[in-house]
Amino acid sequence: MQILTITENNMEIGYVGLGGMGHAMASNLISKGHTLRVWNRSPGKAADLVAQGATLVEHPGQAAAGDGIVFTMVADDAALEQVVGGPDGIAARLGPGGIHVSMSTVSPETTQRIAALHAERGAAFVAAPVFGRPTAAAAAMLFILVAGEAGARDKVLPLLETMGQRVFPLGDDPVAASIVKLSGNFMIMGVIEAMAEAATLCEKYGVERSAMMDVMTQSIFATPLYVNYGKLIAQHDYANPGFKLSLGFKDANLVMAAARKAHVPMPLASMMHDRFLSALAKDRGELDWTAAALNVSEDAGLRS
C-alpha cells in the first residue's frame, strides 16, 4: 500500500495505493500539474513518480492534512481499514473539513464503518469506486461512481474528472456506490462465464474460438467489455492480469454476503464463487480473472 499527497490551491490532497490502478491515476494527476508527496511500503514502486517530482514521506499519516482530501485505492477491505484506522492511518490526521474518498471495491459494511469513523472526527467520507482496467486508468478513461455528502462530492468532483471519462453521482449515502460497484462486477463475472461457455461450445463443434468471438464482438456484442475480455478468453491469454482472479474471488464473496444480508437469491453469483474457488485450487489466483474460462474448457474435456 502506498500514499501520495497533492497540493492544489494550498489544499493538501492524499492518494493511498499505487497498485496497477492507483499508480496510473497518480501519474495522470502529475501530468495535470499537481505536486505529490508519496509513501510506499516498497519505495521502489514510487521511484518513477519521485523522478517526476513527487516527494517520498516516511509514514502514511503524513499524507493527510486536517482539512485536506485523501484518496484511497487499495486491494480489499482489510487493507482499507488498515490505512485508515491503523496507528499511522489517515483517520487520526483527517479532521473537520477533511474528506476521504475511497476508490476501492469493498463491502457495504466496511464503507459504513469507515464513514462512521470519519464522522466521529467531523470529516466527510465519499465512496468513488471505478470501472476499468489499468489501461483505462492510464488513459483517464475510467467510469467513476460517487456517493457521499453533497458538499464533499462537489469538492472532489474536479479531481475525479481528471481520472476518468465520466462520473456517475449516486446520492448522499456512500453505500450506494459500493453496492452498485459490486453489482457491476457481478455482471462482469456473468459475462466471463457466458463467453467462456459459448466459446467452448463452438470449439467442440470445430469452430475456432477466435472466429466465433470476432463475429460476436463485431456485431451484437460490439462493446469494450466483450471485445477486450473476449479476446483474452478466445486466446486463453491470462498471464498478464489487469484484474487478478484472486480479487474476482474476493468480489464474489462480497456480492454473496451482500445478497445474503438483503435476502436476495443470486444463484449465478454462487456459481461464479465456486468457479473462482476451483481456479484458486488450481493455483490460478495470479492470473487474470478471465482465467475462470479454463475451468469451462476442462469441464468440456478440452483441457487437462
**Separation between Cα atoms, residue 93 and residue 79, nearest integer Å:** 18
- Give the list of residues 6+ apart from residue 10 with CB closer than 8 angstroms, or none: none
Sign of CA dihedral 34, 37, 41, 43: positive
Reading the block at residue 191, the C-alpha cell is: 459475462
Locate cell 471505478: which residue?
Answer: 130
- The DSSP call for residue 107 is -
Please pick, among 32, 45, 155, 181, the residue that the annotation labels catalytic. 181
The CA-atom distances, in angstroms, between 212 and each of 16, 205, 217, 219 are 42, 11, 9, 11
Provide the CB-side half-sphere exposure for 105 (13 A, CA). 23
Please indicate whether residue 181 is annotated as part of the active site. Answer: yes
Tell me the DSSP string of 266-303: -HHHHHHHHHHHHHHHTT-TTSBGGGHHHHHHHHTTS-
**Separation between Cα atoms, residue 88 and residue 90, nearest integer Å:** 7
**Separation between Cα atoms, residue 295 and residue 196, nearest integer Å:** 9
Is-contact 148 172, C-beta < 8 A? yes
- The DSSP call for residue 66 is T
Three-state DSSP class for 84?
Answer: helix
Reading the block at residue 12, the C-alpha cell is: 493538501
Locate cell 444463484: which residue?
Answer: 267
Give the residue numbers annotated as catalytic, written as ranges.
181
